Structure 1
């Protein structure tokens, strides 16, 4: 991996906090900044580019918008249909139309889960409490 050195002006109070944490953790400031940037900027992935961009952009949303993004977007009707198709697949081969519908529903479900997970991750990084599983189940 190639290392690039940059110079970035930061406010003095922020630098003092960074320096203080570096001393406490016995880590170089450069390592601290690299870790922070790695946490903030999502890694390159095999996600479709629009979804990867959306997830990366969530870092800049307000807390209110992030809380809204933690709510399920996969409708109950979609869930029921996906269950029906999964059950049907256990009994017989799905038709091409059913396979396409199942793939579309599964992709939408995965997008919904990833959006919610990213919203919770960002809120947690900002110091907000993450709900317990039972609390999430009651919200769904």
Structure 2
């Protein structure tokens, strides 16, 4: 589905949804962030139909989210590695995770705990202002067009 062609704003949200706007795409990305790189590993962990997975990997590669490279251990196979553009989608994934942890967790709490490897501490994802460092509250944000 093309969001930009139907959206009068044609902003960055619509443009991003044009690239990654379906559930399977985000689950493929999630697995890539967990270290999955091969077609069969994506298929096994997700239980996704091979034709759907092939389509998502093809589109993510075409759109510069993944690079398709020969597997260094088996040159007959390929790996899908996140590009810098793809790694930048991690923040979107963390935002979805934070929302799900807050609103959809069961009585045992969130299913995953994130640990920052550099400092060794567990953390909760948050969005902060790049200018003042305070957490962003959507009620305290205004918008203005740059065009």
User: TM range, normalised to the smaller chain?
Assistant: under 0.3
If each structure's helix is expressed as a fraction of its own residues, which one has the higher value? Answer: 1
Considering Cα pairs closer than 8 Å and 6+ residues apart, tell me whether 1 or 2 has the greater RCO. Answer: 1
Question: Normalised by the size of structure 1, how large is the TM-score?
Answer: 0.25
Question: Normalised by the size of structure 2, how large is the TM-score?
Answer: 0.24
Rg comparison, structure with higher value: 1
If each structure's strand is expressed as a fraction of its own residues, which one has the higher value? Answer: 2
